[in-house]
Amino acid sequence: MAESLSARNIVKHYGGVVALSDGNLEVQAREVVALIGANGSGKSTMSKVINGVVVLDGGQLLLDGNPVHFSSPQAAKKMGIATVFQELSLIPQMTVAENIWLTREPLNRTGAIDRKRLNARTEELLALFEGTFKARLHPDDPVASLPADEKQIIEVLKAISSDPWMLILDEATASLDSRQVQRLFELVKQWQEKGKAIVFVSHRMEEIFRIADKYSVLRNGKTVGAGRMSDINEKELVKLMIAKESVFGYTRGESKASKVEPEVCLEVQELRTDYLRGIDLRAHKGELVGIGGLRGQGQRDLLLSLFGDVPYLGIIKLFGRQTSFKHPREAMKNGIALVPGDRAREGLLYIRSILENLLLPSWRQYGFPLRMGKAKKDAAEAGAGLNLKMAGLQEPVSSLSGGNAQKVVIGKWLMRSPQVLLLDDPTKGVDVGTKAEFYVLLSRLCEEGKTILFYSSDDEELIGMCDRVVVLHDGLISTELSGSTLTKENLVAASLGVLNGGAQ
Count interface residues toward another protein (CB under 8 A).
26
Instruction: Out of 33, 49, 81, 85, name the contact with another protein by CB under 8 A.
Output: 85
Residue 83 interacts with another protein (CB under 8 A): yes or no: yes
Cβ 475 vs Cβ 274: under 8 Å:
no
CB of 142 vs another protein, minimal distance in Å: 7
CB of 84 vs another protein, minimal distance in Å: 11
Residue number with CB closer to another protein (108 or 394):
108
The region of 6-14, 70-78, 176-184, 471-479 touching another protein under the rule CB under 8 A is 70-78
**Sheet strands (E) in 277-424:** 277-284, 288-292, 313-318, 321-323, 336-339, 420-424
Give the residue among 356, 402, 401 at the shortest CA–CA distance from 382. 356
Please report, for residues 5, 103, 401, 441, the alpha-carbon distance to residue 385 in angstroms, rounded to integers and kept in the order given. Answer: 44, 49, 18, 10
* CA 441 to chain CA mean position, Å: 19
Residue 71 interacts with another protein (CB under 8 A): yes or no: no
CB of 468 vs another protein, minimal distance in Å: 36
Q: Which residues pair with 322 in a beta bridge?
A: 317
Cβ 427 vs Cβ 407: under 8 Å:
no
Phi first, then psi, for residue 279 (nearest 5°) are -110, 130
Residue 90 interacts with another protein (CB under 8 A): yes or no: yes
User: What is d(CA 214, CA 400) in angstroms, rounded to the nearest whole number?
Assistant: 30
Site string for another protein, 47-66 (x = CB under 8 A): ------x-------------
CB of 159 vs another protein, minimal distance in Å: 10
CB of 87 vs another protein, minimal distance in Å: 8
> 3-state class of 133 per DSSP?
coil
CB of 112 vs another protein, minimal distance in Å: 4
Residue 277 neighbours by CB under 8 Å, 6+ apart: 298, 474, 475, 476
Residue 93 interacts with another protein (CB under 8 A): yes or no: yes
Site for another protein in 152-211 (CB under 8 A): 158
User: What is d(CA 347, CA 57) in angstroms, rounded to the nearest whole number?
Assistant: 33
Residue number with CB closer to another protein (72 or 251):
72
Site string for another protein, 123-162 (x = CB under 8 A): -------------------x---------------x----
Residue number with CB closer to another protein (95 or 353):
95
CB of 129 vs another protein, minimal distance in Å: 20
Residue number with CB closer to another protein (93 or 387):
93
CB of 82 vs another protein, minimal distance in Å: 10
Residue 74 interacts with another protein (CB under 8 A): yes or no: yes
Please report, for residues 302, 382, 501, the alpha-carbon distance to residue 417 in angstroms, rounded to integers and kept in the order given. Answer: 22, 11, 38
CB of 95 vs another protein, minimal distance in Å: 10
CB of 213 vs another protein, minimal distance in Å: 27
Q: Where are the alpha helices (DSSP H) in 227-368?
A: 234-242, 299-306, 328-333, 354-359
* CA 174 to chain CA mean position, Å: 4
CB of 50 vs another protein, minimal distance in Å: 13
Instruction: Out of 4, 21, 89, 178, name the contact with another protein by CB under 8 A.
Output: 89
Residue number with CB closer to another protein (38 or 46):
46
Residue number with CB closer to another protein (24 or 45):
45
Site for another protein in 424-463 (CB under 8 A): none
Residue 77 interacts with another protein (CB under 8 A): yes or no: yes
Residue number with CB closer to another protein (140 or 270):
140
359-362 long-range contacts, Cβ below 8 Å, gap at least 24?
A: 359/412, 359/415, 360/412, 361/332, 361/337, 361/412, 361/413, 361/415, 361/416, 362/412, 362/415, 362/416
Please report, for residues 307, 352, 398, 404, 480, the alpha-carbon distance to residue 388 in angstroms, rounded to integers and kept in the order given. Answer: 26, 16, 14, 6, 35
CB of 62 vs another protein, minimal distance in Å: 22
> 3-state class of 142 per DSSP?
strand
The region of 77-85, 224-232, 430-438, 491-499 touching another protein under the rule CB under 8 A is 77-85
Give the residue among 465, 469, 467 at the shortest CA–CA distance from 495. 469
Residue number with CB closer to another protein (112 or 127):
112
Residue 15 interacts with another protein (CB under 8 A): yes or no: no
Which one-letter DSSP state was computed for residue 165? S
Site for another protein in 94-113 (CB under 8 A): 94, 98, 102-103, 105, 107, 110-113
Phi first, then psi, for residue 26 (nearest 5°) are -120, 125
Residue 91 interacts with another protein (CB under 8 A): yes or no: yes
Binding region for another protein (CB under 8 A): 53, 72-74, 77, 83, 85, 88-94, 98, 102-103, 105, 107, 110-113, 115, 142, 158
